[in-house]
Amino acid sequence: MDWFKWLIRAILAGMCISIGGIVFIQTWGGNPQLKWVGAFLFSLGLFAVVTYGFNLYTGKVGYILQNDRIYLLEVLITIIGNFIGCLIMGYFFQFPLAETMVQGKIDLFFADGGIIDAIVKGVMCGVLMYIAVDVYKSKGSYLGVFICVPVFILAGFEHSIADMFYISSAMMWNMDTFLFTLAILFGNLIGCCLIPAYRLFVNGEEKA
């Protein structure tokens, strides 16, 4: 494994998801009634990731049950690279709406029951992201990408890497946003692993 190349592919994935975040903010911020358009265009980020084989956390973590322990290190490097990519894009693309979005997420997170709510939203997003990526991997189809991404956005689910970009764009990295991100990363992990766990332990499918 060439760790440097793996990291670069992770940074590029973070930048691609950030592009999706940018178009979503620009579309939704310009006209809230066009939120569905921004949600659909956000799909470009995952489209680029799966097309060019970049390393995205929510595209990789769902396969930890099918791999050996070294894969956990690969996932960790993926998170670091995604974070770097989001930081780069957030530095160059700062939006007032991003600050409003992030503050709203943090206020909900620290309200009563907010942590559980955030994790559940992360889980549901993880399920959708696994479906999107696995449909492409197994069927060679982009259908999952262009259905699952708009669904997770319009449903209000939480994607850890997208949130990394919004926080970076808002220049709001602190202990509160760090804890929020950890919770969403955990939720995404659980969600991405639900279907693989079912396939391995209930359906009895062998590891790939």
What are the domain boundaries of the chain?
A: 3-202
pLDDT score, position 128: 98
Please report which confidence band the pLDDT of residue 206 belongs to, taking 50, 70 and 90 as the band edges: low
- The model's pLDDT over 32-81, given as tens digits with 9 standing for 90+, comes to 888 999 999 999 999 999 999 999 999 999 999 988 889 999 999 999 99
Mean pLDDT of all residues belonging to the chain: 95
Residue among 68, 115, 69, 88 at smallest CA distance from 15 = 88
pLDDT score, position 68: 86
The contacts of residue 178 (CB under 8 Å, 6+ apart) are none
Give the percent of the chain with pLDDT over 70.
Answer: 97
Fold for the domain defined by 3-202: Glycerol uptake facilitator protein (1.20.1080)
- The model's pLDDT over 70-129, given as tens digits with 9 standing for 90+, comes to 999 999 999 999 999 999 999 999 999 999 999 999 999 999 999 999 999 999 999 999
Q: What is the CA radius of gyration of the chain?
A: 16
pLDDT score, position 30: 76
**Global confidence as pTM:** 0.94
- The model's pLDDT over 158-169, given as tens digits with 9 standing for 90+, comes to 999 999 999 999
Separation CA 206–CA 190 (nearest Å): 20
SS3 helix, strand, coil % of the chain, rounded to 5? 85, 0, 15
Give yes or no for residue 157 having a pLDDT over 60: yes
The contacts of residue 1 (CB under 8 Å, 6+ apart) are 70, 74
